[in-house]
Chain A
Amino acid sequence: QLQLQQSGPGLVKPSETLSLTCTVSGGSITDSTYYWGWIRQPPGKGLEWIASIDYGGRTYYNPSIKSRVTISPDTSNNQFSLRLTSVTAADTAVYYCARHPLTMILGFYWGQGTLVTVSS
C-alpha cells in the first residue's frame, strides 16, 4: 500500500528557506503513470496546490508562487523535495505531499501532512 511520509523542520524563520522531503513507499516516483506533488493548507483555510513533478523530472508550478518554489526528485532514495525561499508568516501551513495520476481521471492520494510555522 502506498505511503507518503513528509519530513523537515517544523519551524522556519522569516526570509529563510523552507525545505521538506517526501519519502515514498509502496510506489515509485519513476512510475510513468503518476505525478508527485505538494499541497498546503494554512491554519483554518483551504487547500492550495504548490508544485508537482513527473516520472521524467518535469516540473509544474502554481503560477502564484512559482518564483519561490523548487520541486526536485531523488530517485535513488525514492523521495522528492520541496524548497520554498524567502518565507513569511503567510507560508505557515500544513504541507502535504501527494500522488496524482497523469490521466487526471482520479484525484490526489495524500500523505498525513506536516505543520510548518514561520516565526522568529
Chain B
Amino acid sequence: QSVLTQPPSVSGAPGQRVTISCSGTSSNIGAGYDVHWYYQVPGTAPKLLISGDTNRPSGVPDRFSVSKSGTSVSLAIAGLQAEDEGDYYCQSFDSSLSAWVFGGGTKVTVL
C-alpha cells in the first residue's frame, strides 16, 4: 500500500488532455513538501519529469503541468502523444514516517 495514491491507469486519444492524481495526507503533500513526478519506460530507470509546481528539467515540454489542491497534486499532459506512453510516479517526503515516499504509479496508454 503506497503512502501516495495514484490511479493504476489512465488513457486518452492523441491530442487529448489527461490528468493523473496523486493523493496524500497532512504529513506529506498537505504539509507543504514538494511533489516530484517521474516518467518511466518499462525496463529503464525513472526520469525526473517535473519538480514542484513548474520546475521541468531541460527537454521536458511545457505540455506537462502540475496543479495542487489541499493534500492532492495532479499532473496534466496536454496534447497527448504516442511517446507519452509509460508509467508515471509521484514522490514526496512524509514527516510522520521521516521517509521519502512514492505513489504506486499510473500507466498512461495512448489509444
A and B together in one complex: yes
Is there contact, CB below 8 Å, between A112 and B103? no
Given A60-B98, A107-B38, A109-B48, verify A46-B55 contact (CB < 8 Å).
no
Contacting B102 at CB < 8 Å: which of A46, A105, A110? A46
What chain B residues lie within 8 Å of A107 (beta carbons)?
36-38, 48, 51, 91
Task: Count contacts between A and B, CB distance < 8 Å.
Answer: 61
What chain B residues lie within 8 Å of A48 (beta carbons)?
102
In this complex, the interface size class of chain A, counting residues with CB under 8 Å from chain B, is 20 to 34
Q: Give residues 2-48 of A contacting B (CB, 8 Å).
A: 37, 46-48
Q: Measured between alpha carbons, how far is A71 from B86 in the docked complex, in Å?
A: 31
The smallest beta-carbon distance between B20 and chain A, in angstroms, is: 14
Contacting B46 at CB < 8 Å: which of A60, A100, A105, A110? A110
Q: Which partner residue on chain A sits nearest B33 by CB separation?
A: A104
- Residue A49 at the chain B interface, CB threshold 8 Å: yes
